[in-house]
């Protein structure tokens, strides 16, 4: 399963907005420049984010966008779902009674991929936009870094507190 640019760019743009807004609207042109994302693509994404209440638009000189809710209240899963990014890992239609094989059967690994999708959804629902901008997601899986050393003690401590 791979998250498309829609979901990744929406989270990047929302993180940028959360960092730079500080009570004032931020223009999409500024976000596009900082994040190296097409302005027209951002306009499409922010239309969807606005309809879901994740951002508010401000018209006029000095206008732009600001968060629709506090960063602590916005979950990464909210952002991904708002831009219509599917969070499934199977070929089957979500909730369908039949499978994706030619005889409408489910494949042998269906439950494995369904559970993977569930775990991804749970994880993205557990991470707030505030966690992202304050880099509180590093080391949360207790995976080792590229050097073979465990993540920093600070990040491990944050993970233990969260449990």
* 26-75 tens-digit pLDDT: 999 999 999 999 999 999 999 999 999 999 999 988 899 999 999 999 99
Asked if the model's pLDDT at residue 99 lies above 90, the reply is: no
pLDDT at residue 152 greater than cutoff 70: no
pLDDT at 101: 62
Is residue 126 situated within a structural domain? Answer: no
Which domain does 75 fall in, by range? 1-85
Contacts 24+ apart (CB under 8 A), 14-19: 14/49, 14/54, 14/55, 14/67, 14/74, 14/79, 14/129, 15/129, 15/132, 15/133, 17/55, 17/65, 17/66, 17/67, 18/67, 18/71, 18/74, 18/129, 18/130, 18/133, 19/133
160 or 136, higher pLDDT: 136
Q: How many domains does the chain have?
A: 1
Residue 158 inside a domain? The answer is no
pTM of the model: 0.76
- Could you give the percent of the chain with pLDDT greater than 70? 70
- Is there a domain that residue 105 lies in? no
36 or 95: which leads in pLDDT: 36
Residue at 49 is within a domain: yes
**Does 131 reside within a domain?**
no
- % of the chain beyond a pLDDT of 90: 53
**62 within some domain:** yes
Which residue would you say has higher pLDDT here, 154 or 15? 15
For the domain that residue 46 is a member of, what is the CATH number? Answer: 1.10.10.10
Residue 4 lies in a domain: yes
Task: Using pLDDT thresholds of 50, 70 and 90, give the confidence band for residue 98.
Answer: low
98 or 39, higher pLDDT: 39
79 within some domain: yes
pLDDT of 53: 97
Q: Decide which of 109 and 133 is more confident.
A: 133
For residue 119, pLDDT over 60 is answered with: yes
**What average pLDDT does this structure show over 65-89?**
89
Q: Give the closest residue to 122 by CA, choosing from 96, 140, 98, 95.
A: 140
**What is the Cα–Cα distance from 102 to 59, expressed in whole angstroms?**
52
Decide if pLDDT at 103 tops 70.
no
């Amino acid at each position: 399963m791979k998250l498309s640019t829609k979901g990744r760019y929406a989270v990047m743009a929302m993180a940028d907005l959360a960092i730079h807004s500080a009570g004032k609207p931020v223009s999409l042109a500024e976000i596009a420049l900082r994040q190296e994302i097409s302005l027209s693509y951002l306009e499409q994404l922010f239309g969807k984010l606005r309809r879901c209440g994740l951002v508010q638009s401000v018209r006029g000189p000095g206008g732009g966008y600001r968060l629709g809710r506090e960063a602590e209240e916005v979950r990464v899963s909210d952002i991904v779902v708002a831009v219509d990014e599917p969070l499934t890992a199977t070929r089957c239609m979500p909730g369908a009674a039949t499978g994706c094989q030619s005889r409408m059967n489910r494949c042998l690994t269906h439950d494995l991929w369904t559970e993977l999708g569930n775990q991804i959804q749970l994880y993205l629902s557990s991470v707030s936009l505030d966690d992202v901008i304050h880099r509180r997601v590093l080391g949360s899986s207790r995976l080792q870094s590229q050097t073979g050393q465990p993540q920093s003690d600070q990040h491990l401590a944050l993970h233990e507190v969260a449990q």
